[in-house]
Amino acid sequence: MATAVFNASKYPNVAAAKLASMHGCPLHDSMDLFTPEYDTVFLSAIFSWEADKVRDWAWLRRMESLVIIGGPGWNEATYEDIEDYPLEGFSHSYTSVGCPRDCPWCLVPRQYPDGIRELEDWGYAPVMLDANILATSDEHRAKVIKKLAGRRVEWNSGLDTRLIDSSNARFIAETSTPMMFLSWDSGEDSEPLELALENLRAVGINPRGQVKVYVLVGYEGGWESGYQRAAKIKGLGATPFIMLYQPLWSERIEYPQVYKDLARWCNRAQLLWSMDFGEYGRDKAERERIREALK
């Protein structure tokens, strides 16, 4: 039986890659009328605004294929047989699913309402996407260290800044991390981040070169809140990374230009480290508006 898996997103899709590996078939990122015929087609959407693309693909295959649609952009369902499959040779992986936190902007607690679950087996990848690896058990983290020690790993999904004590800082350092992402999604209190960076420095991690901090903008407060957090992170010697909030199951938000400019200034190192946001802008009038808002 000929099977194919199609990922509607431009981003790596671990679940789709696992399905393709399980079925011994290709993983595609596009489909058209000239795509070969398949008996079974899996279609996956990570974000809700990709659902229309999935519907179009399903329409193209409706006559000759069994079409199975899934992914968090389509529904909240999770499939443990996929999660527990130890994918090898893909760019991204994870050792656990779920998170004990209940952040209202995050999909994870709605997908995994029972909290965190540690996987028995999993494949190595240079980018790891655990929702909250630092909240797993000591035994699980010891298994992770045994498998990852000395291998290059980017912890990409936003390490829980509040959990980076001296022990967890050592755990991160033992995985030969060239880059890690923390998060500062809301609030004005920078103390957890300051303590986390202090603990990371103590184990030899250089925040300027190895630590990026996700800054969620648009969920609560305006762009000014995002700027203040980004500026604080920059002042602490780490690199901020603006993420403009998008709801999972509704229309994509079209942000005002100042939000897009903030993200562009912050997320391009040559701009971030060479000037302040008040110096960045497409024209003099815009720069003046930004400076006035930041007073």
Q: pLDDT tens per residue, the chain (295 residues)? A: 688 898 988 888 999 999 999 999 888 887 765 566 788 888 888 887 888 888 887 776 666 678 888 888 777 666 667 888 888 889 999 999 999 999 999 888 888 888 999 999 998 999 999 999 999 999 999 999 999 887 889 999 889 999 999 999 999 988 877 889 999 998 888 999 999 999 999 999 999 889 999 999 999 889 999 999 999 999 999 999 999 998 877 778 999 999 999 999 999 999 999 999 988 876 677 777 777 777 6
What letter does residue 134 receive in the DSSP assignment? G
Give residue 61's pLDDT: 66
Contact yes or no for 164/139 (Cβ under 8 A): no
For residue 26, the model assigns a pLDDT of 85
Q: Domain coordinates of the chain in residue numbers?
A: 3-70, 91-294
How many Å apart are CA 139 and CA 137, to the nearest integer? 5
How is residue 175 written in tokens?
């995985």
CB 84 within 8 A of CB 93: no
- Helices first, then strands: H and E counts in the chain: 12, 12
CATH architecture of the region 3-70: 3-Layer(aba) Sandwich (3.40)
Q: Which of 260, 210, 271 is nearest to 239 (CA)?
A: 210
Query: CB–CB of 258/223 below 8 Å?
Result: yes
C-alpha span between 148 and 182 (Å, rounded):
19
